[in-house]
Amino acid sequence: MIRLPGHSLASALFAGARDLLFPSFCLGCGRQLATARLPLLCSACRASLAFSRSPRCTCCGQPFATGSDHLCGDCLQGNHRFDLARFAVLYSGPVPRLVQDLKFLGRTTPLATMGCLAGLSGVLDELAEPDLVLPVPLHPSRLRRRGFNQSLLIARACFPRWRARIQPDLLVRRRATVPQTSLTGSSRRRNLQGAFALGQGERLHGGRVLLVDDVFTTGSTVRECVAVLRRAGAARIEVFTLCRSI
């Protein structure tokens, strides 16, 4: 029989009792799970995850169906002014429910699973160490209604080692806009023009910035934020989104 050290045995007994008394459920489909190990997803929901993998754009991370890694058309045309963008998983399978439960229902349980998925994706190792981590901000009126900024919570969940560098108030949203989910690509760009700014008198002076958001769809939100950061003097701008919609 394998003998566990005292503390390991106690931990195993505690975990077993917890799983028995307080069972966990899959955050994707609601099925009861045997244990509370992260990510809180059943085997079927885990199998449906699509992590960021090659082949993909070497700059923005857009996935390709076949071939090798190369620049996509948008990046070749210079439509993105960031230096690198990466996402953890595609916005498919159980991922939309994770995001929507956090964003619209205020459920924070998915955050630990989001951080786990970001780690499992391997993309965090591709990001340079930043001077600042900036979550995409909400307008104050929406922040009051929602009570939290999901991008800030995702930044804290995915980058605990850089928690002290997360600055939630440096990049601000100065103009209220309609939700992007209700708009087409061109409307999204018009909707966000001039929506972001840096706090009064703030400059970045050659700093390295990591911009964090929940979902990369058309890139309009990221594009507007990056333009502001470039004007403020950022030397390198990388982008991390939990997921990408294609």
**pLDDT tens across 220-230, in order?**
999 999 999 99
The answer to whether residue 2 sits within a structural domain is no
On whether both 36 and 124 belong to a single domain, the answer is no
Q: At what angle do helices 150-158 and 110-121 cross, to 10 degrees?
A: 50
Asked whether the predicted pLDDT for residue 21 surpasses 70, the reply is: no
Residues 40 and 58 in one domain: no
* Whether 20 and 91 share a structural domain: no
Q: Is the confidence at residue 217, as pLDDT, over 80? A: yes
How far apart, in Å, do the first and last CA atoms of the chain sit?
51
Gap between the Cα atoms of 135 and 151, Å rounded: 5
Do both 78 and 97 map to the same domain? yes
97 and 28 part of one domain: no
Residue 14 belongs to what domain range? 10-47
Two tokens, residue 193: 């023009």
The dihedral built from the CA positions of residue 121, 122, 127 and 132, taken in this order, carries a sign that is positive
Give residue 176's pLDDT band: very low, low, confident or very high (50, 70, 90). Answer: confident
Average model confidence (pLDDT) across the chain: 89
Q: Is 3 inside a domain boundary?
A: no
* 20 is a domain residue: yes
Residue 136 belongs to a domain = yes
CA dist 51 and 122 (Å) reads: 9
Query: Which tokens sit at 72?
Result: 């996509």
The predicted model gives 55-77 an average pLDDT of: 97
The gap from C-alpha 90 to its chain's centroid, in whole angstroms, comes to 11
